[in-house]
A and B are shown apart, each in its own frame.
Chain A
Amino acid sequence: AQKVTQAQTEISVVEKEDVTLDCVYETRDTTYYLFWYKQPPSGELVFLIRRNSFDEQNEISGRYSWNFQKSTSSFNFTITASQVVDSAVYFCALSPTGANSKLTFGKGITLSVRP
């Protein structure tokens, strides 16, 4: 069975602060995908990143960066110099790499960025 744990439920920061969202996962699959999605108040899930389990290189995209550590089963997401528009619920998710790409989500982290 697959499981994703997002232990933080709510985080509040002041604009321009850096913030890290934690994600820990469990799976028996030898290969898998990890994802982060953003859900703004409108409700639509916005795809941010997909990481394959065999690629442990960290990734940076603008103010966003992701730290994948297979040894600790973690896939953490850092927002640098946060902005008010970053306020949303952030979900970490896991899926097998086979044809059935069922996503298993964590419970989400509500991020509030105050001006």
Chain B
Amino acid sequence: ETGVTQSPTHLIKTRGQQVTLRCSSQSGHNTVSWYQQALGQGPQFIFQYYREEENGRGNFPPRFSGLQFPNYSSELNVNALELDDSALYLCASSFTGRGEQFFGPGTRLTVL
């Protein structure tokens, strides 16, 4: 059974640029959630995708957007990057209704 994978591992961008992060869900899972974890903080929910539709969103501006594909993999896009977007971005997959979310290793984004 393949776990959750994310790419890239690390990324450095400059303010104002756009970034796309990728996530492959664990085999058998149909739901993907994205979280932002700033240094020294707990993860904050960005949004969740189920059956290719956004299924809940946290307190993040519209420049944070996402996609889910028919194979349940997902992308997180962030436009007009700001310095405060520097964080570890975590993807988690789950099977709807089961509760447990399994996390990938994360993408460390640095915005200069």
Contact = CB atoms under 8 A, between A and B. Distances in A.
A43 B88 contact: yes
A99 B96 contact: yes
A107 B42 contact: yes
B100 interface: yes
Given A43-B105, A44-B105, A107-B42, A102 B56 contact: yes
Interface stretch (B13-21, B43-51, B65-73, B76-84): B43-51
A42 interface: yes
A101 interface: yes
A77 interface: no
Contacts, number: 68
A95 B105 contact: no
A101 B43 contact: no
Interface in B58-106: 58, 88, 90, 92, 94, 96-106
Interface string A54-91: 00000000000000000000000000000000000001
Most buried by B among A33, A44, A52, A104: A44
Interface residues of B, number: 30
B55 interface: yes
Interface residues of A, number: 26
Interface string B5-43: 000000000000000000000000001010100001111
B99 to A, nearest CB: 5
6 contacts: A42-B105, A45-B43, A47-B101, A52-B99, A103-B45, A107-B42
Interface of B: 31, 33, 35, 40-45, 48, 50, 55-56, 58, 88, 90, 92, 94, 96-106, 108
